[in-house]
Amino acid sequence: MLCLGIESTAHTFGCSVVNSMGKILSDTREVYKAPEGSGIHPREASRHHMELSPDILRNALKLANVTMEDIDIVGYSAGPGLGPCLRVGAVIARTVAGFYKKLLVPVNHALGHIELGAMLTGASDPLVLLVSGGHTMILAFSHSRWRVFGETLDITVGQLLDQFGRALGFASPCGNRIEQLASQSAGKYLQLPYVIKGNDVSFSGLLTAAVKLASHKTELADTCYSLQETAFAMLAEAVERALSFTNKKEMMIVGGVAANKRLAQMLDSVCNRQDAKLFVCPIKFAGDNGAQIAWTALQEYLATKMNVQVEESTVQQSWRLDSVHVSWRR
């Protein structure tokens, strides 16, 4: 079977064709770039997606060497995400599925990150750290659902990095630039608030303090280094406790922030102590992409024969992963 996956929850519009063996035949995407110093404007991002979507869709089919006639399933990210952006993906999915009479499968975006990560890394029953622009969650699978073992109480780690970068006038997303700056520090740690409550983390006080620190006469590289060290140590502590509690022998990082080498290094130490194996989603597929949606839609269809009617193909801006029934995992 062949599935066309459409991703449009936030800054990325992506289309991908994936087969039921897990081969990614194409992956085309474009990322909306906000003006320097500002965040995603949902209407501007949706306009970007709308304008580029015909070319991205056409390219995804062309690179996979297929036509719409060859596609069996159209999967689309139905949430959580920004309403105007989600609606662009859903309109395109409904249009092609309706016109070409294809099966239509809505997908939870966070589940997409995990399912594609598991397929690409070979992790079978991992504790998951989902770290992206929209999520900071520690999850483990039990009784048909991904259960939350810790999460952020306010902003996500992606928002922490992006909002810190934007305060300095960088263009969003800023995680990569902050990682590069941090690597130039000689390892001079500047004190920042470390907030962990139970197994949940809180980043908003850290953001305020880091922005304040950057406005003083400190080396920017040292501030970026200290910000990363503090935020990632909080995540590592919560992950270590969850690993110990769940006794999972695998740990997987997914989401855009999984591209960060320092985070992977810290989690590697945690896994060594807890006798678990670390799996890191390949950088190319760590951030938002159509393949995560296509692969998850295929799993859903093969397990449940899900096929929603166009009239029922809604989007949900808020759609928690732990409310999604996953029938194909044990």
Q: Give min distance, CB of 284 to ligand AMP, in A.
A: 12
d(CA 177, CA 206): 18
Q: Does 158 bind ligand AMP (CB under 6 A)?
A: yes
Comparing every residue's Cβ against Mg ion, the nearest one is: 132
Match 């309706």 to its residue by tokens.
98
- # binding residues, ligand AMP (CB under 6 A): 18
Instruction: Choose from Mg ion, ligand AMP, none: what does 260 bind? Cβ within 5-8 Å by kind.
Output: ligand AMP
Work out the burial of residue 127: count CB atoms within 10 Å of its CB; fewer than 13 is exposed, 13-18 middle, 19 or more buried. buried
d(CA 326, CA 322): 10
Dmax over Cα atoms in the chain, in whole Å?
Answer: 62
In contact, 282 and 120? CB cutoff 8 Å: yes
Q: Does 115 bind Mg ion (CB under 5 A)?
A: no
Q: Give min distance, CB of 227 to ligand AMP, in A.
A: 11
Q: Does 5 bind ligand AMP (CB under 6 A)?
A: no
Q: Does 132 bind ligand AMP (CB under 6 A)?
A: yes
Identify the three-state secondary structure at position 78. Answer: strand
Q: Does 134 bind ligand AMP (CB under 6 A)?
A: yes
Give residue 6's identity as a one-letter amino acid code: I
In contact, 180 and 231? CB cutoff 8 Å: no
- Which region among 85-93, 171-179, 185-193, 302-310 touches ligand AMP (by CB under 6 A)? 171-179
Q: Which of 260, 274, 299, 313 binds ligand AMP (CB under 6 A)?
A: 260
Residue closer to ligand AMP by CB (options 82, 123) is 82
Q: Which residues make up the interface to Mg ion (CB under 5 A)? A: 132, 288
